[in-house]
Structures are given as structure tokens and as C-alpha cells.
Structure 1
Amino acid sequence: MTAGIPESQPPIDTSRPHPARVYDWFLGGKENYPADQEFGRTLPKETRGNAARNRAFMHRASAWLARDGVDQFLDIGTGIPTEPNLHQIVQAVTPTARVVYADNDPIVLRHAETLLVSTPEGATHYLHADVRQPEAILERARNLLDFDRPIALSLIALMHFLPDDQDPYGITRTLVDALPPGSYLVLSHGTADQHPELRKETEAAYRKGAIALRMRTHAEVAQFFAGLDLVEPGLVPATEWYREEPAPVVVRSGFHVGVGRVR
């Protein structure tokens, strides 16, 4: 079951790069345009590998949560539905899992109906919505998910696109505070901690592409998990987070990642 696709769809601006489409290009996807590809080539070569390693973290964390009994997921900042996507990972473990995706990119909306297809036993829904309006997302998600039972909130490679003046910590707190005990926050965030020599080049490229970027340090990313119990191994580079063998190969990462449990 897949639902939530409005009949009218907003136009897609292909003349400017968009983070979701650039990310799709890094992952080898086909839902991107020359402007996205041109922008992607201006970024340090390590960026492509960082995108793949961030995606692998999402797969590991989502599968672990599904095996741990979580069967409801709210994924905000979905991005292009590059397979395997979150619902495919968790429904392979728990076919009855319910997954709600939310994104404000028209190209994601365009492909949601055909690519975000649930198992017959479970459900996937798509909300065309902006993370900067968390209350609206929660209001609509309550019609699709049971907020009396644990929910995994997924904010993957999203919050570094919100500068400080857009209150990323307050947005995250609004979302997390709505979750019942036993829920989880799964978050990855861009950083230059392990690539300090690439920081200026990366920030300059994003400024030139007119894309907001606010990379944050380990201490700054840790603030997103305030009041939560971090699941081992804690807040770590993307290639260092795993719960089950086989362990990923540890290399430098452009993402801090973590999973926090709601008390």
C-alpha cells in the first residue's frame, strides 16, 4: 500500500542544483540533471564516498531497529528513492512495517508513487512537506502512524542544510518530543572533523551553488541527541557505527552518525 501522493505536483527547477539530486548522482542514481552533475564535480572527490558510507549507515541502523522490534518509521528529508530505500530494508525484516516519508523536493514527489511501494502486509506513505514546519509533519503523520507505540525518526543527511538561524535544534526537539518512550532518533550530519583540509573547498562550492550548508563539529552534532540515550557505539563517524557483524571498513568519514533512544 502506498498513499499520500497529491494529484497536482509542483514544477521541478532543473536549472539549479538541488541537494537531493546531487546526492542521487553521488550514489549512481539517474534522477539528476546537468546542473546537479556539474555542481557535484566541483566538490572534493571524497564527497562521493562519503555519500555511499552515509547511505550504508542508514541501512545498518534501520535494519537493526527493525530486528529490535520497531515497526514504524518516519523518514524526513527522504531524498531521491535510490534503491534499496528505507522501507525495503525494514520490510525485508518486518513485512508489516509502516513507513512514512516526507520531503519538500518536487522530484521526490514525482517518483514517490512508483518507487516507494510497500509490501502487501505493510504500508508506505509520502508527505510533501518541509522539515522547517515540524508541527505540520507531525499532524499529518499522526493519521498514518500510532504515536502510542515506538517510532523511529530518521533525519539522514538533512540538518546540515539548515543554518543556525533556522533553529535546527529546536526543530529536532519538536519532532523528538512528540515521540513516545522507546522511540528512536536516527541522525547523520555532515562534518569536516575528519576532513579539515577540505572544509574551505566544500563550503565555497556550496556557496557558489547557492545551497545552504552548515557543517558541524562532534560537539555540535551531539546537541541533537540531548536528553536521549545514545545507543552504542554512540556518536561516531559513519563507518564506525554498527550493531551486528560484519563490521564496516573504517575509513575517514564526512558524517557524524548516531542512534538515540527516547526515555
Structure 2
Amino acid sequence: MIDSLYPAPLARRAWALARRWALAWWRIIDLGAVVLVLLCSPSSYRRAARARLAQQIYTDTVPILAGFTALAALLSLVITHIVVVTALSYGLTRYALEMVIRVLVLELIPLTAALFVAMRTTIPGAAQLAQLRRSGALQALRAQGGDPVRMEFLPRVLAGAYASVTLAALSCVVALVMAYLGVYGLTTAGLPAYTRMFGQVFTPSVTLVFALKTLLSSLAVALIPMASSLYPAHSSALQRRHAAGQGGLARLFAVLLLIELVSLLGNYY
């Protein structure tokens, strides 16, 4: 008789969890649509809005650009050396550089850039936005006739997406240069073979998948953390706030994993 009492609370918890999950994803989709509408609105590009956006892009991109580029260069040299030495031992030298470019440039660099921007820029920015909401600054801005989404949310989202794309693009160029130097050294003798192999790897379909993967990953790391910070929690308990933050991170990692899986299917199947 006691066991028969458990299904009802369990069903209620499952239903509440499903509702929170659906509500969280609906908020992300809704705010993504709002951002798209604001991007198409001429009022989002007035002088004050442009200055605010430029400042946010500079703040979110420039401080982390040099550090991540150096990290990408070091990672490229290490991975290139490991792959080349392993390929030499198995007699697969001619495939080594192509493997480096496929693994490093197509897969690792865009994903690493998105995660780096999330940890260094968008998640701290989402915490700042949540603090503004809890302090009442967003409500005061709305009471003065301003739009918190346009003035606070939109610049952070666009700056996060811009930082992710910039870091991925620059780091891919650095990785390609480091891969060449790691195999051929300081000589131009390998340029014809390298450019031919590069063209064989970056076919039109692979280039399209790579561009879409980079763009979607940047939008995910820019939008998902910010979306969770705009809405108040239904409970004031500290554990609920921690659970909401962990749920946002779980959704972010799930989306990045899904994008990575789809890109792998598009490139190799």
C-alpha cells in the first residue's frame, strides 16, 4: 500500500520538470526571434545603439583575442607534431597533414572557440544581466521608456556571437599556418602541395558545413546563457538558482553537441 503512494509525486515531479524544460526552450526560441526582429529594425542602428554595440563588441572580443590565438597556435603545433610522428611510424606520412586540418581546423577550433567565448564572455555577461534584473535596473529602464532587450540584451548577444566567429576564423588561419610550419618548416617548397591538399579538404559542401557550424555555435553560446538571465526564478532559494544555472549550461552543451554531431554527419556521411 505504501508503494502505491509513490507514482503520484513522481508523476508530478516529471510533469513539473517537463514544463520547466519546455518553458526554458520556448524562452530561448522566443528571444532568438526577438533578436532577429531587432536586427532587421532600423531603430537598432541609431548612433547611441551603434556606440553601445561597438563598445560591447570591443569589451567581449579584444581582451581574449591574443590569449586564445596563442593557445590555438600552441595547440596546433602540439597536435601537428603528434600526428606527423605517429603517421611516420605507420608509413602514412602523406595523410598526416590532411588529418591535422580535418581534426584541428574543421572540428576542434570552432568548438573550442565557442566554449572559450562562453566561459570568458557570455556566461559572465549573463550573470551581469541577471544582476541588473535582480537589482531592478531593467525595470527602471523600462519605466523610463527604454527597452531592456534592445539596450542590454541585444548588444551582449551580438558581441558574444561576433567574438566567437572572430576567434574561430582567426584561430583557423593561425592553425593552418602552424600546421604548414610544423610539417614543411620555414620554406615555400611545400606551398603547391599544401594548397592542393587544402582545396581537396575544403570542398564546397565541407566549407558550407564548416561555416554553418561556426555560425550556429556562436549563436548558441551567445543566446542560451543570456536567455536564462532575463527571467526571474519562481523560487528565491539559492539551490533553485544554482539548478537553473546548471540547466542553462546543460542546454548549451547539448546544443553544441548536437551541432557537432550534425556537422560530422554532413562531412563524412
Q: Same fold (TM over 0.5)?
A: no
As a proportion of its length, which structure holds more strand? 1
As a proportion of its length, which structure holds more helix? 2
* Bigger RCO of structures 1 and 2 (CA < 8 A, at least 6 apart): 2
Larger Rg: 2
TM tier relative to shorter chain: under 0.3
TM-score, normalization by structure 1: 0.25
TM-score, normalization by structure 2: 0.24
